[in-house]
Amino acid sequence: MTGEIKRTEDNNPDSRGIAGKNVRNILEIIHAEDYNAFRAVDDAMDQLSVAVTETHKRLVLGGRVFYVGAGTSGRLAAQDAVELEPTYGIGNDMFDFIMAGGNNALIRSVEGAEDDTDSSKEELKKRNLCKLDTVVGISASGRTPFVLGAIEYGRETGALTIGIVNNTGSIICKRSEICILLETGPEVIQGSTRMKAGTSQKIVLNAYSTALAILLGKTYDNIMSHMGVKYNTKLKQRAVNILISEFKIGATEAEALLVKNNYRLDRIINGLRNGEESGK
């Protein structure tokens, strides 16, 4: 992208005339813009580090994280939250999401839902938001009323508030205690923030939740020790492979340990590390 970074909603001069390009050129223009998502995350690394550190302080005291978003941002947040249980054994009692328009909006647009400032507050009230909790508001424009309402209520209750936005100087950025600004600039197709703005949000959410899982001891170094092994055959085999490669035991023994420990891979790993009976 050339020139000064502008708002996500502005027209992108680097994709003007894209409709007259051949397929290869169209794809090259789209992909060239994707690099701006990675650069934006690079520039926001300090703020992301603070967000993880401050959230972790609250989680270890019994706090929770609530992602709040609308449209693409809400769907990305929901995906990150629901994948934490099978990946790290972190359920919605610790990480949850609030989507504008409710869960139906995950698969079908609910018109006007993102303009409702009060409904996000009501959802947080239902969950008994408190000062140990963290509210993460995700909005490409940085002004989505549904997200802003959640941030404002979070501040009222003393919860940590984190804004993830793609426009500099936005109201959500200003109202959040920590602002993770991802300046991705105008999209290839004007206003289609599901593209590089959404990509940058996805990167940040992945990094945020994964770093917290590591700090909470939900991994064994870089291994998914708390994954939901019982969910499918693939994960059972993955657990067997982990035990074989990390602890140099045979496949038969690994399978027997999984059955004996009700497929609790974390329990087996702890046992093998400490030489306890459950890990022999």
Answer yes or no: do 46 and 146 share one domain. yes
The predicted structure's pLDDT at residue 139: 97
Q: In whole angstroms, give the CA distance from residue 168 to residue 102.
A: 28
Residues 207 and 263 occupy one common structural domain: no
Q: pLDDT tens digits for 172-190? A: 999 999 999 999 999 999 9
Contact yes or no for 267/261 (Cβ under 8 A)? yes
184 and 80: one domain? Answer: yes
Amino acid identity, position 18: I
Q: Is residue 66 part of a domain?
A: yes
> Where residue 105 sits, what CATH number does that domain have?
3.40.50.10490
165 and 243 co-located in one domain: no
> What percent of the chain has pLDDT above 90?
84
> Range of 262's domain?
229-279
| 1 confidence band (pLDDT: 50, 70, 90) | very low
Query: What would the two tokens of residue 40 be?
Result: 């934006």
Catalytic residues: 83, 114
- Return d(Cα 75, Cα 127) in angstroms, integer: 20
Q: Is residue 18 part of a domain?
A: no
Average pLDDT of 30-35? 95
If asked whether residues 255 and 148 sit together in one domain, one would say: no
Would you say 186 and 9 are in contact if contact means Cβ atoms under 8 Å apart? yes
Q: For residue 64, what are its two tokens? A: 């929770």
Q: pLDDT per residue over 51-89, tens digit each?
A: 999 999 999 999 999 999 999 999 999 999 999 999 999
Question: Does the structure show a pLDDT above 80 at 275?
Answer: no
- Is residue 229 scored above 80 in pLDDT? yes
Q: What is the pTM of this model?
A: 0.91
Q: Count up the domains in the chain and report the number.
A: 2
Which pLDDT score is estimated for 276?
62
Is residue 3 in some structural domain?
Answer: no
What digits encode the pLDDT tens for the residues 237-272? 999 999 999 999 999 999 999 999 999 999 999 999
Instruction: Confirm if 176 and 137 have CB atoms less than 8 A apart.
Output: yes
**Boundary of a domain, candidates 215, 241, 268:** 215
- Please tell me the predicted confidence (pLDDT) of residue 114: 85
pLDDT at position 133, please? 98
Each residue of 160-174: pLDDT tens digit?
A: 999 999 999 999 999
52 and 164 both lie in a single domain: yes
* Cβ atoms 130, 159 nearer than 8 A: yes
Rounded CA-CA distance 159/155 in Å is 6
What pLDDT, in 10s, does the model give residues 95-119? 999 999 988 888 887 767 887 889 9
